[in-house]
A and B are shown apart, each in its own frame.
Chain A
Amino acid sequence: MPEHPSKSAEELPDVLVTNADFDIAILHSELAAQGSDVGAVATFVGLVRDINQGDTVFAMELESYPGMTERSIQAIIDEARGRWVLSAVRVVHRIGKLLPGDQIVYVGVASLHRGEAFAACEFIMDYLKTRAPFWKKESIAGQERWVESRQTDEEAAKRW
């Protein structure tokens, strides 16, 4: 049977919270295959920095609230879909132990035009930072400490 050119790929879950690393090339091709009307894919990838508040960070442990975390991210995506016309959205967030340079989070948005894709990607990331239940604990020289939330993240989320 000939494949219809505008056939969209199989239904993808919008949200994945996982211990495993992710491959941005695979995530990108899955988003781009969401329909022949997709004209733009905007993505964001967050990485573990090796420095925070002046201290060298050796490792980081990410904790989630299984169930609520996925649900909160889905609610953010649903809100983004209410604000912009989006063809597909994908959010992958890692939990567990991560090292400097490791990928933490992926946000990918496919839409007809770049304006929606850029805006929705940034909106989702700003909301995720302040609303999705994740907590970071970092290992610095000889000790561990919980990362404090930042006022600048609150302000970034308020502008939407």
Chain B
Amino acid sequence: MIKVLFFAKLREQLGINHLSLEYTEDMVSVASLQRSLAESKDSDWTAILADQNIIRAVNQVVVDLDHPVRDGDEVAFFPPVTGG
């Protein structure tokens, strides 16, 4: 299983804060996971996840799109941060 988390504006746009997914070969990288998510949901997901500003983290560390995803990982998608 992998856990996928969404935060802030992204969470509201997608209408969901987390998903638990059975790990498949479609999820070997962050980019392929994103593609697989977009294909399995409605067309809004494709547009929302394609936003250039989205930040992605695997196991709570910010990564690039080509970063591998393994079974058991926690993958998060979120907008640029605005704390402080």
| Partner-B contacts on A (CB < 8 A) | 46, 62-65, 67-68, 71-72, 93, 104-105, 125, 128-137, 146-149, 153
Contact = CB atoms under 8 A, between A and B. Distances in A.
10 contacts: A65-B60, A128-B84, A129-B83, A133-B57, A135-B9, A135-B78, A136-B83, A147-B82, A149-B81, A153-B84
B80 A63 contact: no
A130 B82 CA distance: 7
Interface of B: 5, 7-9, 53, 57, 60-62, 76, 78-84
A128 B5 CA distance: 21
A75 B53 CA distance: 22
Contacts, number: 69
A153 B5 CA distance: 25
Contact of B81 (A67, A135, A137): A135
A72 B60 CA distance: 8
Nearest to A153: B84
Given A105-B83, A149-B53, 14 more contacts: A46-B84, A65-B76, A105-B84, A125-B84, A128-B84, A129-B83, A129-B84, A131-B62, A132-B81, A132-B83, A133-B7, A135-B9, A148-B82, A149-B80
A97 to B, nearest CB: 15
Given A65-B60, A65-B78, A93 B83 contact: yes
Contacts of A135: 7-9, 78-79, 81-83
